[in-house]
Amino acid sequence: MLQGGGALGAYQAGVYEALAQAGIAPDWVAGISIGAVNAALIAGNVPEKRVERLREFWEAASTPPLGVPYLKSVEITDERKRCVSAARAFAG
């Protein structure tokens, strides 16, 4: 079970990476908020791509302007940036 909380989500991704490197694979994952995003990235990808997809998502989510092209004339809320970053990670 992966809980919500932005920074905690990045921690979860690192823990999953360490587990994967140790050859430990969870039988199931579930989450809420950012934990649900991480869970979807884990469950929605083949095992050998999971860490890569988590890294791509977190790099996009932590790089200004959060994976969204910078548009001076349009106000882009943080929530919209997160949604676009998540959508791009899932589409990858």
Does a structural domain hold residue 59?
A: yes
Report if residue 1 sits inside a domain.
Answer: no
Domain, as residue range, for 29: 6-91
Beta bridge partners of 31: 2
**Is position 38 within any domain?**
yes
Q: Which pLDDT does position 60 carry in this prediction?
A: 84
Does the predicted model carry a pTM greater than 0.85?
Answer: no
pLDDT at 91: 59
Instruction: Walk along the chain (92 residues) and give the pLDDT tens digit of each residue.
Output: 898 887 888 999 999 999 999 999 999 999 999 999 999 999 999 999 999 999 999 988 887 765 445 444 445 556 666 666 666 666 55
Tens of pLDDT, residues 53-69? 999 999 888 877 654 45
Please count the structural domains in the chain. 1
Q: What is the pLDDT of residue 85?
A: 66
Q: Which of these, 62, 60, 64, lies nearest to 85 by C-alpha position?
A: 60
